[in-house]
């Protein structure tokens, strides 16, 4: 007999005991209480190409589902439930969302189309499962074993462990980022934080690659966070990071965009430390780039007597900013043609015009870059999208 509250109670027991890999067994136990023959979790891999059963899921059909071209992938891409028919009933795919972060999908096998009440119950279960995965993922390695399809190099391990979730939404803004190559990155990184009405965003591109670059990236990220949490303004944040890089890694440098958005007024302020200028897209138009650079790369700031320049831009509702490293625009095709800024702008304007969700824009962008370089990136490629949507109209 259906009893959704019993399913909730049994899942909530995992808050105080058990591991993430115990979740598949618990979902199998509660499936009858949801009028389902099966309830299972599929998580997206690091490359965001396919959805894979969470470690601990019993072997069975539909082991993995590609993100492009399947109902499961559509639920993930659009963050909306999807239904498809099978020989013995239907499958309802529900997005697993932790805030704005897309973890994967929940699959419920049902004998018949669910009514509105059962759909609502399954949405609650999906939300609870996402919270359980997010809160338990760091107590074991089941999530990492599921998401990794290749061995991860140590440099990439260090950087990924430093990063916040890929997507975040609050205070009428959304931030979403991508990072490639997933298993061998070392020099690129991003960070963000929402404090009162200010959204802080930063993108870093460290000179070099491998373990040395990841160590410098780690110092840079944590110095940035320390400065931010100490209440330093943008200029003093730049000076603090610059000082520590110079002290610990003489001669090394990091290009960066250090930015702040007042989510009440839409005032955007930033320092471009030897970094490519972000793209500002308003409606269907890519506006002229902001001045860049306004400071030397971090670690080289002592070479000029003046302080870093801070650029200010007034955003309008629904404006989109895209920060990127040169691995995006300097990607080369087989005949040596650069991907370039114009192609990047055209891609973003097109996807925004279609109403593609921000996280999905970033996923498709990085796949476009990888494809443009025939699957072999010559440099780390990272980007972060920032959208100001007063009134809470998040896509």
Task: Give percent of the chain above pLDDT 90.
Answer: 84
What is residue 392's predicted lDDT score, i.e. its pLDDT?
A: 56
What is residue 218's predicted lDDT score, i.e. its pLDDT?
A: 96
Based on the domain organization, do 121 and 209 belong to the same domain?
Answer: no
pLDDT at 101 over 80: yes
Among the candidates 114, 147, 180, a domain finishes at 147
What is residue 210's predicted lDDT score, i.e. its pLDDT?
A: 85
What is residue 395's predicted lDDT score, i.e. its pLDDT?
A: 47
Mean pLDDT of 157-162: 93
Based on the domain organization, do 176 and 279 belong to the same domain?
Answer: yes
Task: Give percent of the chain above pLDDT 70.
Answer: 98
pLDDT at 106 over 70: yes
CB 189 within 8 A of CB 221: yes
In a domain, 310, yes or no: yes
What is residue 12's predicted lDDT score, i.e. its pLDDT?
A: 92
Mean pLDDT of 113-120: 94
Q: How far apart are CA 286 and CA 40, in angstroms?
A: 42
The sign of the dihedral angle between the CA atoms of 314, 319, 262, 276 is negative
Among the candidates 121, 147, 173, a domain finishes at 147
In a domain, 395, yes or no: no
What's the whole-model pTM score?
A: 0.93
Q: Quick count: other Cβ atoms within 10 Å of Cβ 41?
A: 28
Residue 237, CA distances (Å) to 139, 223, 240, 258, 288 in order: 33, 8, 5, 9, 27
Based on the domain organization, do 93 and 209 belong to the same domain?
Answer: no
Is 193 exposed, middle or buried, given 0-12, 13-18 or 19+ CB atoms closer than 10 A?
Answer: middle
Q: What is the CATH number of the domain that holds 262?
A: 3.60.40.10
Q: What is the CATH number of the domain that holds 48?
A: 3.30.450.40
Mean pLDDT of 116-139: 94
pLDDT at 239 over 90: yes
CB 62 within 8 A of CB 69: no
Q: Which comes out higher in pLDDT, residue 307 or 192?
A: 192
Structural domain count of the chain: 2
pLDDT at 61 over 50: yes
Q: Token pair for residue 39? A: 């309830």
Based on the domain organization, do 134 and 161 belong to the same domain?
Answer: no
Q: What is the largest CA-CA distance in the chain?
A: 75
Among the candidates 86, 121, 147, a domain finishes at 147
Encode pLDDT of 260-281 as tens digits: 999 999 999 999 999 999 999 9
Residue with tokens 């824009």: 361
* Mean pLDDT taken over the chain: 93
DSSP code string of 105-143? EEEEEESS---HHHHHHHHHHHHHHHHHHHHHGGGSSHH
Encode pLDDT of 283-332 as tens digits: 889 999 999 999 999 999 999 888 899 999 999 999 999 999 999 999 99
Based on the domain organization, do 91 and 159 belong to the same domain?
Answer: no
Contacts of residue 84, Cβ cutoff 8 Å, sequence gap at least 6: 71, 90, 91, 93
- What stretches of 230-310 show up as alpha helix (H) in DSSP? 234-248
User: Which region among 15-19, 137-141, 148-152, 160-164 has the lowest average model confidence (pLDDT)?
Assistant: 15-19
pLDDT at 187 over 90: no
Based on the domain organization, do 355 and 209 belong to the same domain?
Answer: yes
Based on the domain organization, do 57 and 137 belong to the same domain?
Answer: yes
What is residue 394's predicted lDDT score, i.e. its pLDDT?
A: 47
Based on the domain organization, do 209 and 352 belong to the same domain?
Answer: yes
pLDDT at 393 over 80: no
Based on the domain organization, do 135 and 228 belong to the same domain?
Answer: no
In a domain, 65, yes or no: yes
What is residue 60's predicted lDDT score, i.e. its pLDDT?
A: 73
Q: How far apart are CA 343 and CA 233, in angstroms?
A: 34
For residue 104, the enclosing domain spans 4-147
What is residue 1's predicted lDDT score, i.e. its pLDDT?
A: 66
pLDDT at 127 over 50: yes
Encode pLDDT of 5-55 as tens digits: 999 999 998 888 878 999 999 999 999 999 999 999 999 999 999 999 999
User: Which region among 96-100, 206-210, 384-388 has the lowest average model confidence (pLDDT)?
Assistant: 206-210
């Amino acid at each position: 007999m259906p009893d959704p509250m019993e399913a909730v109670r049994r899942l909530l027991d995992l808050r105080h005991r058990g591991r993430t890999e115990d979740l598949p067994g618990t979902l199998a136990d509660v499936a009858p209480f949801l009028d389902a023959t099966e309830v299972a979790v599929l998580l997206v891999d690091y490359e965001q190409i396919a959805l894979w059963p969470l470690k601990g899921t019993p072997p069975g059909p539909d082991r993995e589902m590609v993100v492009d071209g399947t109902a499961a992938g559509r639920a993930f891409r659009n963050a909306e439930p999807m239904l498809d028919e099978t020989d013995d009933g239907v499958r309802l795919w529900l997005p697993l969302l932790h805030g704005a972060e897309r973890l994967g999908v929940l699959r419920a096998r049902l004998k018949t189309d669910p009514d509105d009440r059962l759909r609502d119950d399954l949405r609650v279960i999906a939300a609870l499962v996402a919270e359980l995965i997010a809160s338990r993922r760091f107590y074991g390695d089941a999530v990492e074993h599921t998401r990794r399809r290749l061995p991860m190099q140590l440099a990439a391990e260090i950087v990924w462990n430093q990063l916040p979730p890929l997507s975040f939404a609050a205070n009428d803004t959304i931030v979403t980022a991508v990072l490639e190559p997933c298993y061998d990155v070392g020099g690129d990184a991003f960070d963000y934080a929402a404090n009162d009405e200010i959204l802080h965003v930063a993108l870093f591109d460290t000179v070099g690659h491998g373990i040395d670059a990841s160590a410098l990236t780690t110092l840079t990220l944590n110095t940035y966070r320390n400065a931010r949490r100490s209440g330093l303004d943008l200029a003093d944040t730049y000076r603090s990071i610059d000082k520590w890089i110079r002290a610990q890694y003489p001669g090394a440098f990091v290009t960066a965009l250090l930015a702040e958005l007042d989510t009440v007024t839409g005032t955007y302020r930033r320092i471009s430390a030897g970094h490519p200028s972000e793209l500002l897209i308003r409606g269907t138009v890519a506006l002229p780039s902001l001045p860049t650079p306004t400071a030397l790369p971090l670690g080289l700031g002592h070479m000029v007597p003046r302080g870093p320049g801070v650029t200010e831009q007034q955003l309008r509702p629904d404006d989109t900013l895209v920060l990127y490293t040169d691995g995006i625009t300097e990607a080369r095709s087989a005949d040596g043609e650069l991907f370039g800024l114009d192609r990047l702008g055209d891609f973003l304007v097109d996807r925004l015009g279609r109403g593609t969700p921000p996280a999905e824009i970033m996923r498709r962008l990085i796949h476009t870059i990888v494809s443009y370089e025939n699957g072999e990136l010559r440099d780390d490629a990272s980007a972060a999208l920032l959208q100001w949507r007063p009134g809470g109209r998040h896509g």
